[in-house]
Amino acid sequence: MSPDTSLPENGWIGRPLPRAATRRLIEGRGRYTDDHAAKGELHAAFLRSPFPHAAFRIVDRDAARALPGIRAVLVAEDLAGLCRSWRCESRAFPGLVSPEQGPLARDRAVYQGEPVVLVLADSRAVAEDGLELIGIDWEELPAVTDAAAALEASSPPAHQGLASNLGWRTEFGDGDVEAAFAVAALVVETQLTFTRHTGVPLEARAVLASYDPSAEALEVRLSHQIPHQMQVHLAELLGLPMGRVRVIAGDVGGGFGIKMHVYPDEVAICAASRLVGRPVRYVCDRIEAMMADIHAREHVMRARMAVDAEGRILAFDLDDIQGLGAYSVYPRSSTVEAMSVLRAVGAPYRFDAYRARLRCALQNKVPTGQYRSVGHPIGCATTERLVELAARARGEDPLEFRRRNLVPEAIMPWTNPAGGRMASLSHAACLAEFERLVDLPVLRAEIAAMRAQGRCVGLGLAAVVEYTASGPAAYGLAHVPVAAMDTVVVTLEPTGDLVVRASVAEIGQGIQQGIVQVVADAVGIATSRVTIHTGDTGNAPHGGGAWASRGAAIGGEAAWGAGRKLRAEILAAAAALLQSAPERLNLRDGQVIDATGMPRMALADLAATVFFRGHELPAGLQPQFTATQQYRREEDVFLTTNGFQASLVEVDTDTGLVTALRHWVVGDCGRLINPLLVDEQVRGGVVQGIGEALLEACRYDAGNGQFLTGTLADYLLPMADNAPDITVGHVETPYAGSVLGAKGAGEAGTCGAPAAVLNAVNDALASLGAHVSEMPITPAVILRALGTLEAAP
């Protein structure tokens, strides 16, 4: 008999199984939010501010109200009695400046797309007709667009009444940075510009809110990553007890962090449903989504790295400006991204000193927030660019420079001077697997051959450390009500099947499949006999949902614990009925077996006995065939994972076009619950990173601050012909602090891809004496770097 905490051999955990739920989706039987109908529903449309900064006065709603089919024309004052305003506050960011927000703007709009008026009508088309009839006087105010300029004393205010546009600032670090740079044999520096961009899940945000006045209860279908979080906030904002707020996230068409926040328009829809006592449907159209979804990753990073004569990194010195947006995203704060950037710098490496200075600028742009890998891509690109510069200055192989500086296993656990705790990282093993997978000598020979043909190709590397699966202290210390725990309930049905209700959220990443595999092993039953429900706060217990790649690491532990509890109850009941002892029995494939492996009782028979023939049970035996485990991780605020990426690109030096030819990833995210699904998470993440590096940008008019890239014709997303084949390899070092040993896997692809691509482009351009230091690396950026086009003014 194996000990209780060891995983079964040849079990379900670790198998590369397709995601069972996709059978529905391939047949077009998905049930996304807009696929549901509600009797008597009204359709909503928002009048959104056409200006980045403007005062407004609503002068006429009667014309709109008079249009046949229009049922209500609502402004901030109409919702004020039903819905509180909110302000982002976090003890992690003392002094954070984030003005109060409500579901609809009042008197002033501070970003283009901010919702101002809400129209309810019999159809979306008629609601949009109504928008056009609203009389509203606008007084344009100066728009604050550029983040660095926003911080100058001469900048107009992004919010009237605020003394400056400084949303937050901090300076932190450890070690004597000045001394390190003073004695350094080599100092390299860079300034990198990262352009704001956004997540663009294909299913735009959608909400169907149904308030029942007779029950004073709200039911909300919502495309969201964390239904329980929304339950908390909707209850609080609308003054309803949580028990009368039900949030249902069914099939969600992608999240990527975009759908983990509290959005004013979604809150407004819920308040409106309460006001009119009818269901209200709102689907963000793509134009609205581009301008009103949270954006991310607008940073100007100045960074220096000190290196000693032996090529060891001594210190990092950083100055980061974040373009935060008009408000800090609620409830977590947009500054979380900036801290994540800074903590990611240097993370793979050993160094002695670190200083980071951060200023977060308020701007007349939509708020920024968490977007896949939250800040890490910027920290990683900064680090890996400095590493490349150092290796080049020293005339040595960039891989050797990295190898020398990777945090050695011998010193871990180790908290680096940035405050990042490095524990159980497998840099050496990953590097070995990476070298095997990429076969650098062969690849370098191929590159040499391509260059001999006159092709401008480059190879870029990136070492990756990703902080995953945030523990309770991450938001707990900040007093921000985010659940970093998960709860799983496993129930045995009378037929011997299992039903699982879990607090994790399925957004396509496959966590439902992972949990099913965990429970199947924990109990001893085939996955085909396990059904899982997630996403509905009406039946899923409270927990964290989907963010920070936490489903397997946290939800998985809860699932294992609940499954083992149920297994113990099953074996105790079986033992009593078989006149044996639980330790002499086991469960395998839905059969109770004895020590010789002989099946003694089918789980279905046991269940039927307990549920329907309880009189056959011995006195005092009360089997508990519903088991619950609530799990929070007690150690390690984050689970760090590690890996390496390589990008091979080709630069057309005439046109400036960059093609990503190939990409490789090797990572260690602890135990792989389902390697097939993890691989595809990595690939998807890499291509998002390639989009960040080469294509995606939210652009604004330098004069009036108008948002210029508001359609998918202007905002360029990677399509099938812009994405390379991606080779993925793994090292599996189970995390010692949990039973399953799983860490977060879903975001590391995005963390390292922009860094690898940036380094690859610069490797390609090096022979021409050129380099680039901004993303996205557009053709114009390349041609300016080559001197073909004049520098931008």
Footprint on residues 682-701 left by other proteins (CB under 8 A): 683-688, 695, 699, 701
Q: Helices 748-766 and 675-694 sit at what angle, rounded to 10 degrees?
A: 50
Report the distance separating Cα 82 and Cα 268, nearest Å: 10
Which one of the spans 400-408, 417-425, 433-441, 713-721 is the region binding other proteins (CB under 8 A)? 713-721
Residue 787 binding other proteins, by CB under 8 A: no
Asked if 528 interacts with other proteins (CB under 8 A), we say no
What's the alpha-carbon Rg for the chain, to the nearest Å? 28
Using the rule CB under 8 A, which residue among 418, 562, 673, 726 binds other proteins?
A: 726
Instruction: Tell me the two tokens of residue 515.
Output: 């949990």
Pick the binder of other proteins from 182, 589, 780, 787 (CB under 8 A): 780
Task: Report which of 234, 368, 388 is spatially closest to residue 305, judged by C-alpha positions.
Answer: 388
Q: Kindly tell me which residue out of 1, 153, 452, 713 binds other proteins, with binding defined by CB under 8 A.
A: 713
For the beta sheet containing 599-602, the strands, ordered from the edge strand earlier in sequence to the opposite edge, are 585-588, 591-594, 599-602
Interface residue with other proteins among 428, 725, 736, 766 (CB under 8 A) is: 725
Stretch that binds other proteins, among 22-30, 47-55, 81-89, 146-154 (CB under 8 A): 22-30
Binding to other proteins (CB under 8 A) within 187-206 occurs at 199-204
Which is nearer to other proteins, 128 or 236 (by Cβ)? 128
Do 470 and 483 contact (CB within 8 A), yes or no? Answer: no
Between 284 and 399, CB nearer to other proteins: 284
Sign of CA dihedral 413, 415, 416, 418: positive
In degrees and rounded to multiples of 5, residue 427 shows phi and psi of -55, -45
286 versus 632: smaller Cβ distance to other proteins: 286
- Site size for other proteins, by CB under 8 A? 85
Q: Are 647 and 663 in contact (CB under 8 A)?
A: yes
- The footprint of other proteins on residues 646-675 (CB under 8 A) is 654-655, 657
Burial class (CB in 10 A: 0-12, 13-18, 19+), 628: middle
In the complex with other proteins, the residue whose CB is nearer, 36 or 451, is: 36
| 3-state SS, one letter per residue, for 766-779 | HCCCCCCCEECCCH
492 lies in the binding site for other proteins (CB under 8 A):
no
Residue numbers 66-85 binding other proteins by CB under 8 A = 68-69
Count Cβ atoms below 10 Å from residue 308 Cβ, excluding itself. Answer: 15
Distance CA 731, CA 670 (A): 8
* Angle (nearest 5°) at CA 706 between 703 and 708: 110
45 or 307, CB closer to other proteins? Answer: 45
Contact pick of 507, 651, 669, 765 for other proteins (by CB under 8 A) = 507
Could you tell me the smallest distance in angstroms from the CB atom of residue 299 to other proteins?
21
Which token pair is 535? 């996403």
Task: Give me the phi and psi of 445, to 5 degrees please.
Answer: -65, -40
Stretch that binds other proteins, among 26-34, 325-333, 348-356, 438-446 (CB under 8 A): 26-34
455 touching other proteins, by CB under 8 A: no
Beta bridge partners of 172: 356
- Residue 307 sits in the site that holds other proteins (CB under 8 A): no
Decide if 446 contacts 649 (C-beta within 8 A): no
Instruction: Report if residue 32 touches other proteins, rule: CB under 8 A.
Output: yes
451 lies in the binding site for other proteins (CB under 8 A) = no
Which long-range contacts link 606-610 to residues 24+ away (Cβ below 8 Å)? 606/496, 606/570, 606/573, 606/574, 606/577, 607/492, 607/493, 607/494, 607/495, 607/496, 608/494, 608/495, 608/496, 609/577, 610/573
Using CB under 8 A, which of 264, 367, 420, 510 touches other proteins?
510
The least distance separating other proteins from the CB of residue 227, rounded to whole angstroms, comes to 16
Give, for 136, the enclosing helix (H) or strand (E). Answer: strand 135-140
Nearer to other proteins, 352 or 680 (CB): 680
Pick from 722, 737, 771, 773 the residue near other proteins by CB under 8 A: 722
Q: Which is nearer to other proteins, 711 or 767 (CB)?
A: 711
Q: Which stretch binds other proteins (CB under 8 A): 52-60, 281-289, 588-596, 603-611?
A: 281-289
Minimal CA–CA distance to 416: which of 338, 345, 503?
Answer: 345
Answer yes or no whether residue 768 interacts with other proteins by CB under 8 A.
no
Residue 133 in the binding site for other proteins (CB under 8 A):
no
- Smallest gap from Cβ 714 to other proteins, in A, equals 8
Q: How far is the CB of 528 from other proteins (least distance, A)?
A: 15
CA distance 235 to 587: 43
- Spatial contact of 419 and 435, defined as CB atoms under 8 Å apart: no
| Residue 791 lies near other proteins (rule: CB under 8 A) | no
Judged by CB, which is closer to other proteins: 418, or 782?
Answer: 782
Please name the residue that has the structure tokens 């190898």.
403
H or E stretch covering 517: helix 511-523
- List binders of other proteins among 83-122 (CB under 8 A): 122
Nearer to other proteins, 431 or 677 (CB): 677
DSSP 403: H
Binding window for other proteins (CB under 8 A); candidates: 472-480, 542-550, 625-633, 681-689:
681-689
The one among 54, 386, 552, 677 contacting other proteins by CB under 8 A: 677
- Which CB, 476 or 689, lies closer to other proteins? 689
203-242: contacts with other proteins (CB under 8 A): 203-204
Helix, coil or strand: residue 48: strand
Q: Measured from the CB atom, is 125 or 162 closer to other proteins? A: 125
User: Which lies closer to other proteins via its Cβ, residue 426 or residue 653?
Assistant: 653
Rounded-to-integer distance, Cα 79 and Cα 141, Å:
26
649 Rama sector, left if φ>0, alpha if ψ -120 to 50, beta otherwise: beta
Task: Identify the residue among 4, 62, 66, 123 touching other proteins (CB under 8 A).
Answer: 123
Find the shortest distance in angstroms from Cβ 678 to other proteins. 10
Site for other proteins in 540-599 (CB under 8 A): none
Query: How many whole angstroms separate alpha carbon 763 and alpha carbon 455?
Result: 13
CB of 788 to other proteins, least distance (A): 6
432 vs 712, which CB is nearer to other proteins?
Answer: 712
What is the CA angle 216-218-224, rounded to 5?
Answer: 165
Q: For residues 529 and 499, what is the distance between their CA atoms, to the nearest angstrom?
A: 9
Q: Which is nearer to other proteins, 5 or 711 (CB)?
A: 711
Residue of 112, 322, 509, 759 interacting with other proteins (CB under 8 A): 509
